[in-house]
Structure 1
Amino acid sequence: MNTSEYSDFKAGLLDQVSVLRANIRSGTHTSTTSGTAHSLVQGNVVILPADWANDFLLYCQSNPVACPLIGVSQIGNPALPGLGRDLDIRTDIPEYQVFRNGERAETLTDIRDVWRNDFVTFVLGCSFSFEDALIRAGLSIRNVEHGQNVSMYRSGITTQSAGRFHGNMVVSMRPFKAADAIRAIQITTRLPNAHGAPVHIGDPALIGITDIHTPDFGDAVTIGSDELPVFWACGVTPQVALENARPPIAITHVPGKMLLTERLNEELAVL
């Protein structure tokens, strides 16, 4: 693809995401973003008061697989120009989760009424970005095929504590036949900013998951008798750390309902 073709390709993608973002802002799209915004980076979001931001930044830096940081806002500024031209973090996520003192207090589709001038927004890479790469490589993604949210589980894998933040990793799961699982490892290893390679393959009990058919977040998907569950680190991990740290207020995305950026997945890939 030459420079002109690349520019036209990206312009077409941005037109598509502009329409989808408009639907999110208006409240007409409140469902999962899995399988949408093909080729564009999606992001997990954590919004915190400024006096909690340094601790959380250290937590991300200490746990880059679960919390691959791709964007941080200025204090009080809802824009993230490095990720989108007219992006407004207060309106551009299908559904938000508001935490108060570590408790999941409410969900909203617009956070302008609870926005504060001391908020800092963190955007973390998301596995939905590598789903696109897997699909383009010819692999089948069960949750995308069925129009479902991905299955996510609280695992027994510990993260490295930083300041007030600590907790176990949340993982997302996609089933594959063995040969496809190997191909998925090869592809996702090139995308460390979207969690990179899997953290576990096979027996879920080995990472503390007692019932693979009952995810803690998202939807349950069918796992064939000839398939292996493949687990990646998940950007819902910070939500567990928020529960433990108990800041007076924090806002995240609802699991599976991500921020759509204007960055191509390839721009964050390791060649």
Structure 2
Amino acid sequence: MIQKEIIECFAKEVTKNICAEIKDDVFGLLVDESSDVSLKEQMAVVVRFVDKFRVVRENFIGIVHVRDTASSTLKEAIDSLLANNQLSIKQVRGQVGDCGGRKKNPGVKTFYEYLSMVVTTVSASYKRKDMIRETKKARVENEILEGEIKTGKGLNQEVSLARAGDTRWGSHHRTIISLLRLFPEVVTVLQYVKEDGDCSQQRTNAKGILSYFKKLEFVFYMHLMGDVLSYTNALSKHLQQKGKDLLEAANLINGTKRALNALRENGFESMLEKSYFLL
């Protein structure tokens, strides 16, 4: 308890110094919503500002638990956090967030839930060494989880079924791309777990995942989100590079918007064709 109190005191002092450095100046906000281990919604807040040495700083100032992810609830929580640190939302000159946006679309939400489940199920199966036998299933599990399956023409690229972070574009993109490339192999592992999983819960999970995998909805979302995230993830990486000026950043953003608009206008037919082919 004493150690926890000491850490909390240090954290408060660090946050106090960060906010004191901003003082009456303007700053940007980076807000990211996720769930804690008890599945309660929480919001992490980071401030972005230019310090006295003209260096752009990004500093974490707190985590706030919220009852839901409605915009009014999030605004109220941000207002309260800033006020407690002697800052005002009137000083904010830009904000970036991932506050449950995907949850507004039930189909996308379901897709991401199953995306997480498939990695967890395959990983749990692999970790049980006593289950692994010299079969095709054993070989596939090892190749999937250790990145030994080689795919792609020319580059002969190695791909593993990466685990997605909770709200990170890059990690979701890697997971979706690897699942697209390893789809038949992942189905093989899930079929094995469905029949020979070490507990009823694991077998039930695999059965549910396989049932969803057979739906056009899942395969279509897999292609859709893979394409969308390929654009947004590339943009995010470019914007995080040092030396990017405002004009270059604006051109990158406009280019991404045009690509996404073209995808919306002309991309669905080709996605459906690829989805039917995978099924």
Give me the TM-score of the superposition, normalised by structure 1. 0.27
Query: Larger Rg: 1 or 2?
Result: 2
Q: Relative contact order: is structure 1 or structure 2 higher (C-alpha 8 Å, sep ≥ 6)?
A: 1
Give me the TM-score of the superposition, normalised by structure 2. 0.27
